[in-house]
Amino acid sequence: MSLLESGENHTPWHLRDNWEPMQVEITSTDLRVDGVIPPELNGLYVRTGPNPASGTSPHWFFGDGMLHGVRIRDGKAEWYASKDLSHHRGPAGV
């Protein structure tokens, strides 16, 4: 039986589903919301995660990353943006 037939997925968890590497940066506005965002909840939700440019990585701490942000205001999700961090190094290439 092949892996496809068995239904097994041997892709590491940090490289699939919600964490699957993105090849492009995205900026979207006027986002659709399923449910209700309380109008009192205002701010910016930011998340960083693995995003290896090669599409593979032995561990989720290794390699490049992607920054994701959603602006929430007055019961609406105003925008979503992602930024590839693979070209942004700290001092001395760190």
Domain-by-domain residue ranges, the chain?
A: 3-86
3-state secondary structure 39-93: CCCCEEEEEEEECCCCCCCCCCCCCCEEEEEEEEECCEEEEEEEEECCCCCCHHH
Please determine, for residue 92, whether its predicted confidence score (pLDDT) is greater than 90. no
Q: What is the mean pLDDT of the chain?
A: 83
pTM above 0.85, yes or no: no
pLDDT range class, residue 67, cuts 50, 70, 90: very high
Read off the pLDDT of residues 17-61 as tens digits, 9 standing for 90 and up: 877 888 899 999 989 999 999 999 999 999 988 888 787 888 878
- Predicted pLDDT of residue 2: 40
